[in-house]
Amino acid sequence: MTITLSPQRIATFCQGPAQQIALQAVEETGSTNADLLAAIDRLNAPTLLVAERQTAGRGRAGRAWHSQAGASLTFSLAWKFALPVHALVGLPLAIGVAIADALAMFDVKVQLKWPNDVLHEGRKLAGILIETAAVAPREGSWAVIGVGLNMAVDAALAATIGRPVADIPWLTELDRDMLMATLLNKLADTLVQFEQTGFAGFAPRWNALHAYSGQTVMILDNGRVLHEGVAAGVDATGRLMLDTAAGPVAVMAGDVSLRVAGG
């Protein structure tokens, strides 16, 4: 296996705030999120780490993220905010909007599943995992934003994943450096705006992409149903609003998951 992504070429496609990102590509690692978190104290700039293959990729709630070299795009972006960690509530949803905007440039239409999945034709195309680290008081915080984007899923990988996922095989025919840079451009613009507006600046766009708007859904915690109601979108802080039999309920993102009722 060789590294087919070139930091030098990715840089030529970067624009605006993305031009300030330090770019790194590796053939294989355990987890790009874990690598950047371990290096936080040594980072002097926003940093991208993209791996051809991750052997211990992670999703939310400790789940594994399975991928194959050349068939997916797996990367993490470390970004420092002049904000405390608690002000980063809603960031995963804003990242979902950024990914949707980037894919739209290739005429790929997606929808968003609360709180951190990107869907294509009803199945998971990309996942987002954000981990944070506080720095010295009043010096802000770091967010390490991990993204896994399926491009081509063969039978062996599908069996390993064990649940239906989406893929778009023709994405593998694109210039991967250009695709990576397009994602970075949208992500960097989003992160700059998020520092200024928080999630409130993204809520209308997220709701316009909401996969389950008006549908009855269940919120689960380790398989236990916490809430059931009609999904009414998210509020300015990223809470999912449900219309339940007992009245409106606002659900904060955590290790809970969402499922369509009866699905």
Instruction: Catalogue the active-site residues.
Output: 60, 124, 259
Strand, coil or helix: 227:
strand
How far apart, in whole angstroms, are the C-alpha atoms of residue 245 and residue 119?
A: 28
Upstream peptide bond of 92 is cis (omega within 30 degrees of 0): no
How far apart, in whole angstroms, are the C-alpha atoms of residue 259 and residue 89?
A: 22
Query: With contact defined as beta carbons under 8 Å apart, do 144 and 154 qualify?
Result: no
Please give the single-letter amino acid code of residue 170.
W
E strand or H helix that includes residue 134 = strand 123-134
How far is residue 91 CA from its own chain's centroid? 9
How far apart, in whole angstroms, are the C-alpha atoms of residue 87 and residue 83?
A: 6
CA distances from 226 to 104, 114, 221, 222, 256 (A): 34, 15, 7, 10, 9
What is the residue whose two structure tokens read 């339940």? 244
Q: In what order do the strands lie in the sheet with 47-54?
A: 22-29, 47-54, 72-81, 141-150, 123-134, 117-120, 111-113
